[in-house]
Amino acid sequence: MKMLVETFLDTLTNTFSYVVYRQGERKCAVIDPVLGYDFRSGKTDTSGADEILAFVAEQGLEIEWLLETHMHADHLSSAAYIREKAGGKISASEKVKTVQAVFGELYNFEPDYYRTDGLFDYFFAEDETFTIAGMPARAMYVPGHTPADVAYVVNNEAAFVGDTLFAPDLGTARCDFPGGDAEQLFKSAQRILALPADTRLYLCHDYPPPGRDRTSVVSVDRQRQENIHVSQGADVATFVKLRQDRDATLAMPNLLLPSLQVNIRAGVLPEPAGNGKRYLRIPIDEE
């Protein structure tokens, strides 16, 4: 039966989310769902997640997996909200534990903040195999952007690559977050580009320059030929210098501090304080 992918776009953060399913099968996976958040008012917005839920209901699907490609620094995850409404196992790389420890220290959280029951349901080991709607899948470990990035390779025909690769004219993701590593990113990109040439690579973001439409999917072959950072003939030393020089010019994402403290909890918002309100913690004057 044919593999099907429905694409959703959060225009405020330029984030693509996906529902992966198959003709004749009820089960599906949701990848990188977004919870809207206005940092000026502190209000969340579930409209994007509700759009995904509506599609799942219309198609008569049952959510089996809620998959995160990494701990996003530019948007909050709606995985916990979707799980509450429709079920599914929130899953990510086992290396998320490294990210939890780093950012738990940054925010001065007690370990129980991100290790209690009811957060992630499952952590994938490196390159662990599993199934989505009966189709073979693999959590390909591709660190570099962060220590916990995975690309979900499904049915030997598609891979959901998170931030490891962008559209060919944009290249690759930054590596200057804690635990990021440009040399690792280069090697991870090469792992993805070693997939069969016709493999469809589904991106997590696109930031198109003027005159180009937004792109959510690119073939391995096109990335090999055209990616400005890691196309055929690229070498690791040149890439590392290019990436480090570029990263040094980039500002931190607007939602980094709100996002990570929620995302290391699988999108589960902080428990209400004594007054019934929920609060995020923002460190001041951090380097």
Q: Which CATH number goes with the domain that contains 163?
A: 3.60.15.10
For 33, the 3-state DSSP assignment is coil
155 found inside a domain: yes
- Would you say residue 221 lies in a domain? yes
Count of CB atoms situated within 10 Å of the CB of 199: 20
What is the structure's pLDDT at 11?
95
Specify if 94 maps to a domain.
Answer: yes
Q: Is residue 42, in this structure, part of any structural domain at all?
A: yes
Q: Are strands 15-22 and 3-10 parallel, antiparallel or unpaired?
A: antiparallel
pTM: 0.96
Cβ atoms of 77 and 10 within 8 Å: the answer is: no
Asked if the structure places residue 219 within a domain, the reply is yes
Per-residue pLDDT 10s for the chain (287 aa) are 789 999 999 999 999 999 999 999 999 999 999 999 999 999 999 999 999 999 999 999 999 999 999 999 999 999 999 999 999 999 999 999 999 999 999 999 988 888 878 899 999 999 999 999 999 999 999 999 999 999 999 999 999 999 999 999 999 999 999 999 999 999 999 999 999 999 999 999 999 999 999 999 999 999 999 999 999 999 999 999 999 999 999 999 999 999 999 999 999 999 999 999 999 999 988 66
Alpha-carbon span 91 to 69, nearest angstrom: 9
| pLDDT value at residue 64 | 98
> Does 286 reside within a domain?
no
In a domain, 256, yes or no: no
Q: What pLDDT is recorded for position 102?
A: 93
| Side chain identity at residue 50, one-letter code | D
Is residue 121 within 8 A of residue 96, CB to CB? The reply is no
In this predicted structure, what is the pLDDT of residue 287? 63
Provide the residue range defining the domain that includes 184.
3-251
267 part of a folded domain: no
Q: How many domains does the chain fold into? A: 1
